[in-house]
Structure 1
């Protein structure tokens, strides 16, 4: 079901749903569920790479924390967020959490090798 929007707004036009908002809401939520699944798969893929980085850091006796790299990762994320109309605050929070858990995963790998 395609959704039509009121001119100049992000509000759905009432007549495009034929008064059945529950099915339109279910369809939108289904789309959100699919996106959530994709996000989780991508995060899992990211952490697979993070583990490999941790292994290399362990082999070459490198520190887990790399503030220069963290800065570059955050800057790239903020650029991408801006291009896509995403909040800077959300992006900073999201990347902060990802980097926190990435460093913890790397530290675990470094200690384990």
Structure 2
């Protein structure tokens, strides 16, 4: 049987989780705005969409951060592999749009 005290605690935790989720969404949006700018710079200077050395450095750095925060570094690596794969996909799309002269029409993370 659920007691009001338990429900109050549960509601409080859920509100905190909802706030964290909202913050994560906004942080991802900001991250993609920034990585889109990297993509535009790479396209303008004909640089490849993938920088394997940078990616490996990022994975190593993020896994250490995860360990320091008490998180499973494998989980963080998988999460970031997904995020970085999306970044690379967007960089390729930006490069293709740049090559075709349509880079200014590329939809950015903020929807413009």
- On whether the aligned pair clears a TM of 0.5, the verdict is yes
Counterpart of 1:50 in structure 2 is 35
TM-score (norm 2): 0.82
Q: Which runs of 5+ in 1 are unaligned?
A: 1-17
Which of 43, 67, 73 pairs up with 1:82? 67
Deviations 1:41-100 (A, max 9, x none): 111101001110110111110110111010011111111111100001211111111101
| 2:63–2:74 Cα contact (<8 Å) kept | no
Higher RCO (CA-CA < 8 Å; seq separation 6+): 2
For residues 91 and 75 of structure 1, the distance between their equivalents in structure 2, rounded to whole angstroms, comes to 10
Offset at residue 19 of structure 1 (A) = 6.2
| Superposed CA RMSD | 1.2
Pair 1:111-2:91 in alignment: no
Runs of 4+ in 1 over 3 A off after TM superposition: none
Q: Which runs of 5+ in 2 are unaligned?
A: 99-112
Which of 77, 86, 103 pairs up with 1:92? 77
How many residue pairs match? The answer is: 96
TM-score (norm 1): 0.81
| 2:64–2:73 Cα contact (<8 Å) kept | no
For residues 75 and 92 of structure 1, the distance between their equivalents in structure 2, rounded to whole angstroms, comes to 9
